[in-house]
Amino acid sequence: LAKTTQPISMDSYEGQEVNITCSHNNIATNDYITWYQQFPSQGPRFIIQGYKTKVTNEVASLFIPADRKSSTLSLPRVSLSDTAVYYCLVVLGNYGQNFVFGPGTRLSVLP
Amino acid sequence: KAGVTQTPRYLIKTRGQQVTLSCSPISGHRSVSWYQQTPGQGLQFLFEYFSETQRNKGNFPGRFSGRQFSNSRSEMNVSTLELGDSALYLCASSPDVGGETQYFGPGTRLLVL
């Protein structure tokens, strides 16, 4: 049975770099891996999306190894406002897409 | 551009009733997906609609259904509500079907008593 896993929680201090890894098997060959941020009582907010190797935007980087069985979201120099739950979203199965969110990682940024 | 909007934002129903939730996608987006979020099960995919057709479906019972209109707006319906259907229901839109970046609305919080 296809499954996506993430660490349940992580703590960090302001100004540090945070790396959150999502492990996923049976990922669809031609589809993207996407990461979202969610605050309480809000819908998930798009952070970054990638297909392979490395992608960087103004807020994060995403590292995807060649086998695509995992992906790592990197948040440089986190601040208190980055305290949130972070989810990976993958497409599982090449025949009929099934969007699967990871269980989420609760990141707490401490002063 | 306006974001994804969902109505109503909050809803209270009793067991056995049915409920219809509405989602208006970002202008120009043709794909709408629905998700259920609960503390116990997390975010779970319900279904995806594109061009008024259901393209993908998650592992939910037939009590959960949806449709999409020609203007890409979508509704989802839950019949014979159960206590376990209490959840945040999220709608997401994307420009095209499957895999592209999905943009989420604020959700509809449903409480079943």
Rounded mean pLDDT, B22-32? 95
- The sign of the CA dihedral B68, A26, A51, A19 is positive
Q: What is the pLDDT of residues B2-18, one digit of tens each?
A: 899 999 999 999 999 99
Query: Cβ contacts (< 8 Å) between A6 and chain B: which residues?
Result: none
Asked whether residue B109 carries a pLDDT value surpassing 90, the answer given is yes
DSSP 8-state assignment for residue B85: G
pLDDT value for A29: 73
pLDDT value for A2: 56
pLDDT value for A95: 53
Query: Cβ contacts (< 8 Å) between B43 and chain A: which residues?
Result: 44, 87, 101, 104
Q: What is the pLDDT of residues A85-97, one digit of tens each?
A: 999 998 876 555 6
Chain-chain contact of B99 with A46 (C-beta, under 8 angstroms): no
pLDDT band at B99 (very low <50, low <70, confident <90, very high): low
Q: Cα(A100)–Cα(A91) distance, rounded to whole angstroms?
A: 6
Query: Cβ contacts (< 8 Å) between A44 and chain B: which residues?
Result: 43, 90, 92, 104
CA distances to A12, A14, A54, A77, B38 from B16, in Å: 45, 49, 49, 50, 20
The DSSP secondary structure of A11-31, one letter per residue, reads: EEETT--EEEEEEESSB-TT-
pLDDT value for A94: 56
- The sign of the CA dihedral B56, B44, A99, A48 is positive
Chain-chain contact of A36 with B104 (C-beta, under 8 angstroms): yes
Low-confidence winner among A2-6, A53-57, A102-106 (lowest mean pLDDT): A2-6
Q: What is the pLDDT of residues A22-75, one digit of tens each?
A: 998 777 777 789 999 999 989 999 999 998 889 999 999 999 998 888 999 999
Low-confidence winner among A15-24, B54-63, B89-98 (lowest mean pLDDT): B89-98
pLDDT value for A97: 65
Q: Cα(B6)–Cα(A105) distance, rounded to whole angstroms?
A: 26
pLDDT band at B33 (very low <50, low <70, confident <90, very high): very high
Provide CB contacts within 8 A for B46, sequence distance 6+.
Answer: B33, B34, B35, B36, B57, B58, B60, B64, B66, B76, B89
- The sign of the CA dihedral B97, B102, B106, B110 is positive
- The sign of the CA dihedral B51, A97, B32, B57 is positive
Rounded mean pLDDT, B22-33? 95
Helix (H, G, I), strand (E, B) or coil at B62: coil
Amino acid symbol at B83 = L
